[in-house]
Structure 1
Amino acid sequence: MAACLRVLPAAFSTPSSASNSSSLRRRSFKIGCSATGSKNSARIPMPPINPNDPFLAKLASAAANSPEPLHARPSNSDSPPYLDLFDSPKLMATPAQVERSVSYNEHRPRKPPPDLPSLLLHGRIVYIGMPLVPAVTELVVAELMYLQWVDPKEPIYMYINSTGTTRDDGETVGMETEGFAIYDSMMQMKNEIHTVAVGAAIGQACLLLAAGTKGRRFMMPHAKAMIQQPKVPSSGLMPASDVLIRAKEAISNRDTLVELLAKHTENSVETVANVMKRPFYMDAKRAKEFGVIDKILWRGQEKIMSDILPPEEWDKLAGIKIPDPF
């Protein structure tokens, strides 16, 4: 290539005729490009270069001054050939930088994104959106333990939309110990647990809602809470003695549930036992009055209310001096 650029400048200076010019052109082209590394004595004329074209001027200057880099591969194998004619361009990125990139692109192997519970767990959110069956209990308890291990000081947000150990038609799908397992795990946590009822909190799920940190138990305005007695699973062809044993276990679970609800709602055991004789449904306002929750979430009003100063602070900022009591 360098020989071509060096030989061609005299190629078309003095053509004698059309035939001679064309034959001379063909001969000169063969001579100039056949021996790339050799020095040809023939000087073939070439049309003058436009001085206003900076690209051609720079290319011709480089070819005249140092023709070797044009046809000799550079010694540095990391840079492509012929790039030293112009200003050295900046390549995209080194392989190490590409590997450290956090975005999904063609330089990284395609991996499936994490599942939704994992994304919620990253935001310290535990979502109970199914009846309390063993698989749900296992997941919730494991998430609580993991979040406490990650940071024992940051709060945990538990969103509840569950029918407890029964389905919406009343059929039993899990033992009462499923709800007690999650409750005991919550009580062992060092973190604050903010509970939020979304949709429904029935039976054992209502206990979990009330077991949140005092002052941090919330409910959506159209959510429902309900407390009911534990139900005996289907006995089938079970002997009468076994049915009696299961009935006693259900009564024991009921008494435990009554005591725990009375503790967290600050009601008497007799009050909770009386309302739980039949299914006791509560909307958000009634649940707040009964002591299951502390606040009702509605369009961020809780943040607005939390920013309001108490009356004593208002009086202090206004310069009002509170008289000392007698």
Structure 2
Amino acid sequence: MATSLQLAMASSLAPSSSSSSPKRRSFKSFCSISSRNAATIPMPPLNPKDPFLSKLASVAAASPDPVLPRSSDSDTPPYLDLFDSPKLMATPAQVERSVSYNEHRPRKPPPDLPSLLLNGRIVYIGMPLVPAVTELVIAELLYLQWMDPKEPIYLYINSTGTTRDDGETVGMESEGFAIYDAMMQLKNEIQTVAVGAAIGQACLLLAAGKKGRRFMMPHAKAMIQQPRVPSSGLMPASDVLIRAKEVITNKDTLIKLLARHTRNSIETVSGVMKRPFYMDSARALEFGVIDKILWRGQEKIMADVASPEEWDRKAGIKVLDGM
């Protein structure tokens, strides 16, 4: 193909038999010198089995127009009008699109990322539980149940609950209870996974997964705390008291639900909730919030670890009675 292009350029630059002006002769002599110099430049090797070059050659051969047409203006040097003719550049570009782009280009715009996760039956809570998040999560749960009421649903949680990380209230406690009630009403098995943080109401959602299928990443955090009183602003004292009573009611409800799903007593949960109670993955497993830590290779590592009694026996330590 490169040889044909060189022949085309050589034939175009050949001197004409008719007389021409001195300006034209000087240009021809310049072109002849350039062609002689170009002939000494070695051409890079071409792969005859290259599919793109083969396709390009076939399209160029089938094109009714010449690959490099002569300029109709005698005052214009040959081939410099390529930039004025977009059709000339369309042949290789069209081949490139037909070979590598159109074959893999989607026929419609791709969906957003939550839709792709939803296709894998994954519901991801990555924001505080504000009304917009609650609406989307419940809608996704109901949709997945409608699609298949027997397949499990995977709920990934990375949320600070109804508060921000600094403790400021951003949503009512009913937002978390709404998602919890939807989870309890679904026919599907819901597997929960904590990634990052599960704080407050988000910790309740983590513990509300199916027993044996509640997971946590090794470096994730869980925390339970008392509900916060929303900003009262310029409310009268009577309205502030009503809000305080409602917060106490939500606190009692949260304690009962956490005690049910963690299998701890109400007194135990109420005692640790007096102050923010942070849990790493190991502590959350011990407290009953989760059932397993998603640590790749953990089962083999823990199976090779000896028991405390075995460590003491090998170390020659004798445990005294009553100690």
TM-score range, shorter chain: 0.5 to 0.7
Letter in 1 for 2:204: L
Paired with 1:302 and 1:158, the residues of 2 have a C-alpha distance of: 23
Paired with 1:191 and 1:106, the residues of 2 have a C-alpha distance of: 39
Paired with 1:250 and 1:117, the residues of 2 have a C-alpha distance of: 33
Q: Which residue of 1 aligns with 2:294?
A: 297
**Residue by residue, what CA displacement relative to the aligned partner does 1:262-295 show, whole Å, maximum 9, x if unpaired?**
0000000000000000000000000000000000
**Structure 1 length-normalised TM:** 0.60
Q: Which residue of 1 aligns with 2:208?
A: 211
Letter in 2 for 1:206: C
Q: Which residue of 1 aligns with 2:154?
A: 157
Percent identity over the alignment is: 88
Shift of 1:111: 2.9
Q: Which residue of 1 aligns with 2:178?
A: 181
Residue 192 in structure 1 maps to residue 189 in structure 2 = yes
Instruction: Number of aligned residue pairs: give it.
Output: 204
- Go from structure 1 to structure 2 and tell me whether the alpha carbon gap of 1:136 and 1:304 turns closer, same or farther (over 3 Å shift): farther
Residue 220 in structure 1 maps to residue 217 in structure 2 = yes
Shift of 1:299: 1.5
Paired with 2:106 and 2:178, the residues of 1 have a C-alpha distance of: 40
Mapping for residues 232-311 of structure 1, pairs under 5 Å: 232-299=229-296, 301=298
**Residue by residue, what CA displacement relative to the aligned partner does 1:11-52 show, whole Å, maximum 9, x if unpaired?**
xxxxxxxxxxxxxxxxxxxxxxxxxxxxxxxxxxxxxxxxxx
Paired with 1:248 and 1:151, the residues of 2 have a C-alpha distance of: 41
Q: Which has the higher helix share?
A: 2
Paired with 2:106 and 2:188, the residues of 1 have a C-alpha distance of: 38
Match of 1:288, SS?
A: helix
Contact 1:196/1:218 (<8 A) preserved: yes
Letter in 2 for 1:287: A
Q: Which residue of 2 aligns with 1:137?
A: 134
**Residue by residue, what CA displacement relative to the aligned partner does 1:128-185 show, whole Å, maximum 9, x if unpaired?**
0000000000000000000001011100000000000000011000000000000000
Q: Mind listing any 5+ residue stretches in structure 1 that lack a counterpart?
A: 1-103, 306-326
Contact 1:172/1:231 (<8 A) preserved: yes
Shift of 1:303: 10
Give the number of the structure whose alpha-carbon radius of gyration is greater.
1
Shift of 1:112: 1.9
Letter in 1 for 2:250: N
- Go from structure 1 to structure 2 and tell me whether the alpha carbon gap of 1:159 and 1:112 turns closer, same or farther (over 3 Å shift): same
Match of 2:194, SS?
A: strand
Match of 1:263, SS?
A: helix
Q: Which residue of 2 aligns with 1:201?
A: 198
Paired with 2:301 and 2:219, the residues of 1 have a C-alpha distance of: 20
RMSD: 2.2
- Go from structure 1 to structure 2 and tell me whether the alpha carbon gap of 1:206 and 1:107 turns closer, same or farther (over 3 Å shift): closer
**Structure 2 length-normalised TM:** 0.60
Match of 1:190, SS?
A: coil
**Residue by residue, what CA displacement relative to the aligned partner does 1:48-69 show, whole Å, maximum 9, x if unpaired?**
xxxxxxxxxxxxxxxxxxxxxx
Paired with 1:109 and 1:265, the residues of 2 have a C-alpha distance of: 47
Q: Which residue of 2 aligns with 1:121?
A: 118
Shift of 1:110: 5.3
